[in-house]
Chain A
Amino acid sequence: MSATGAATADEGTEGRSTTGQALRRLVQGDLSSVRVVLGLIVIAIIFQVQEERFLSAQNLTNLMLQITTIGLISVGIVYVLLLGEIDLSVGAVSGLSAAVMAVLSVNHGWNAYLAIAAAVAVGAGIGFLQGSLFSRFVVPSFVVTLAGLLAWEGALLQVLGKTGSLNINDPKITGLANTFYSDTVGWIFAAAIIAAYGAVLVLGYRKRVSAGLADGGPLPLVVRFVFLSALVIAAVAILNSDRGVPLAVMILLGFVVGMEYVAKRTTFGRHVFAVGGNAEAARRAGIRVNAVRVAVFTISGSMAAIGGVMAASRLFAVNQNSGGNELLLLAIAGPVIAGTSLFGGRGSVWTALLGALVIGSISNGMDLLSLSSAVKLMVTGGVLLLAVLVDAVARQQRQTSGRV
C-alpha cells in the first residue's frame, strides 16, 4: 500500500475533509436536492406572504393532486435524461394512451383494469418503437420523438373521433385520482413508510459493518431517518386535516420509490447510468447499449401513459387537449430543475418528485394570486432556464476540476 504513497500524497485531500467536500458538492450540484428543498422553502415563503391560503391543508392537498401527472411522466423522463437523451413525445403519448383507455372503457365497455392495461401497453409500445428507431438508425432522439409528438397528437384526435371528448364514468378509473384515505389508514401508511425506511437503513448499515466497510459511523443515517420521519409525519398530518391521504399521492410515491430502486439498486439501472456516462465504455464492458436504450424509452412511454391515465381520472374526461399545452415541457423541466443533468449519467428519480413540487408550487401559487397565463409562462420559463444554467455551470466546474 505504501508504494503509491508519493502518488496519493498530493491527492489524499480528496475524500478526507468531509465538511469542505460537502460544501463544495452543494455548490457543484451533487447535493442539488438540498438546494432544491431550500428553493422550495423560498417559494413557499414568497407565496405564503402574499396569499395565506397557499400553505393551507386544502391547497397543499390540491397541489399534490396537481403534480401527480407531471410527476409520473417525469419519472420516465429521468431515465431518458440519465441516458443523455430527450423524449418530446411524452405529452402526446399520455393523451393518446388516456384516449385509448377512455374509448375502450366508455364505448366498448371494457373492464377498467383491462382498459388501463391497454393504455399502458400503448405507451410502452410507442416507447419501444421510438427507442428502437433511435438506437437502430442512430437518429437523434429529439427528432424521433418530435415526429412522435406530432403523429401521436394526430392519433389522439383520430381515436377521440368527431366529438373530440369523452367523459369517463367508471368509478374504478375516476377513483384513481379522487380517492382519499381515512386518517387511520393515513397514519398506517406513515408508520409503514417510516418502519420500512428504518429497516433499510439498519440492515444496510449492519451489512456494511459486518463486511468491515463501516465508514463514518451511524450518525448520518440517524439524521436522514429523523428528517424523513418528520417529513412523513408532517405530510400525513396536513393531508389528514383536509380530505386525507390521496390514493394519487401513494401511486406517485410508489412509482418514484420503485423506479429509484431500479435506477440505483439493480444491474439495469447501473447500466443506464453507464450508457449515459460513457456509451462506448459501456459497450466495451459488454453492456447491450441498444437494449438499454430501447428499454429506457419503453419506460418513458409507459410512465407517460400512466400519467395520462391519472390526468383523465382527475378530469373525469379525455379531450383534444389531453396531454397538450405545457405538460411536456414541465415534465422535462421538473427533473432538470431538481438536479438531473441534461448531459446524461447524473440524477435520480427523486428529482421527478422534487421538480414536480417546484413547478407545481409556482404554478399553484400564481393561480392563487390570479396571475395571467402570460406571467405564469414567463416565470416558469425563467425557472427552467435558471435550472439549465445551474446544470451547465456545475458541469463546467466538474470539467475544470478534472471531473468530466
Chain B
Amino acid sequence: MAADGTPLLELEGISKRFGPVQALDRVDFAVSAGEVVGLVGDNGAGKSTLVKAIAGINPPDDGAVRFEGREVRISRPQDATELGIATVYQDLALCDNLDVVSNLFLGREQVSAGPGQVSRQLDEVKMEHETADLLSNLAVTIPSLRSEVGTLSGGQRQQVAVARSLLGDPKVVMLDEPTAALGVPQTKQVLELIRRLRERNLGVVVISHNLADVFAIADRVFVLRLGRAAGEFRAEEATEEQVVAAITGVGDGRDKGERAGEEERA
C-alpha cells in the first residue's frame, strides 16, 4: 500500500523472553501508511507480546525498530506515543472509576490557559466538547459522557478505547482483539472504523482470532506461531485455508520441518 516503499514502522529480529517462554523469536514485521495488517496466530503465539513491544509496555530483549526510516528506541509507553503509535489493548486499559471524558484524555489532559501555573486547571468543558465531537464522528453513542466507564457495556467500553487511541493524531494504530467482546452490529462498526483509519492514511495493525474479520479489512495477513513469523499473505491472494495452515503449522513441508524442530526443542 505504501506509495514510496518505505514502511512506516519496521521491526527487525525482535525477540522477547519471559522466563522459560520465548514469547517472540527474531520476528521481522512492518506496516506502511494506509495499510491494514492483520496479525493472527494461535493462543500464546506472541501477538499481544509483539504489540506490547511496539507500544513500549514490554520492551523487546533484542532487535531493531525503525519508524519512518529512522532507528528508534521504544522503551516506555511515552516513547511510542511521541512517535505517533497508539494502542488499544485487549484489556482496554480503562479506569473504571473515571468517566468517559477523563478516560479519553487520560495522560494528555487539556488545561485552560492561565497566566500562571497555579491558575491552570483541567479544561473539562473543552475536553467534553472534543469527546462529543470525536464520538459523533465515529458514530459512537454513549448515554452520558460523564458516566463512569465501569457502568458501560463491553461494546461501549471498546468504542471508548478505540476513540481514545485516536486523540493524539497517531500515525500507527494497533488494536488487540478489538472485536472479541462485541456483538455482530458493533463488530461491523469497529471494522468500518478501521477502514476509516486506513482512509486517513494511518498504518493499522489488527490482532484478531476471527479470520473472517481479518479478511474483511486487512490488506496483508501476518502469521505468528510459537513466537516466530510463520507466514505472510496478501489478503486478496490468500485463502482462509492457507492462513489456517500457517497458524496451526500443518499443511506444507516447510512447516512440518519446523514443527519437528520445535518438538525437539521442547
Contact = CB atoms under 8 A, between A and B. Distances in A.
A195 B180 CA distance: 53
B216 interface: no
Contact of A273 (B81, B95, B108): B95
B206 to A, nearest CB: 19
Contacts of B155: 7
Given A7-B185, A280-B93, A404-B150, A286 B143 contact: no
Given A7-B185, A282-B95, A270 B144 contact: no
Interface string B97-112: 1100010001111010
A1 B93 contact: no
Interface of B: 55, 57, 76-78, 81, 87, 89, 93-98, 102, 106-109, 111, 120-122, 125-126, 128-129, 132, 136, 139-141, 143-144, 147-148, 150-153, 155-156, 183, 185-186, 189
A283 interface: yes
Nearest to A398: B150
B93 A7 contact: no
Contacts of A283: 77
Nearest to A3: B139
24 contacts: A1-B141, A4-B140, A8-B141, A11-B153, A12-B143, A15-B144, A213-B125, A270-B102, A273-B98, A274-B95, A274-B106, A277-B96, A280-B93, A282-B95, A283-B77, A284-B77, A284-B89, A285-B106, A285-B108, A286-B76, A286-B77, A286-B78, A398-B150, A404-B96
Contact of B122 (A8, A266, A281): A266
A14 B147 contact: yes
A394 to B, nearest CB: 12
Interface of A: 1, 3-8, 11-12, 14-16, 207-208, 211-213, 261, 265-267, 270, 273-274, 276-278, 280-287, 345-346, 398, 401-404
B107 A285 contact: yes
A270 B122 contact: yes
A193 B241 CA distance: 72
Contacts of B143: 8, 11-12, 14-16
Contacts of A280: 93
Nearest to B132: A213
9 closest Cβ pairs, A-B complex: A285-B107, A277-B97, A345-B97, A15-B144, A277-B95, A403-B150, A281-B93, A286-B107, A15-B143
A282 B98 CA distance: 11
Contacts of B147: 14-15
Nearest to B192: A3
Contacts of B97: 273, 276-278, 345-346
A1 B153 contact: no
A270 B125 contact: no
Nearest to B120: A266
Given A8-B143, A284-B57, A285-B106, 4 more contacts: A7-B185, A11-B143, A270-B106, A286-B78
A14 B140 contact: no
Contacts of B153: 7, 11, 402
Contact of B96 (A14, A266, A278): A278
A285 B160 CA distance: 14
B93 A285 contact: yes
A14 B151 contact: yes
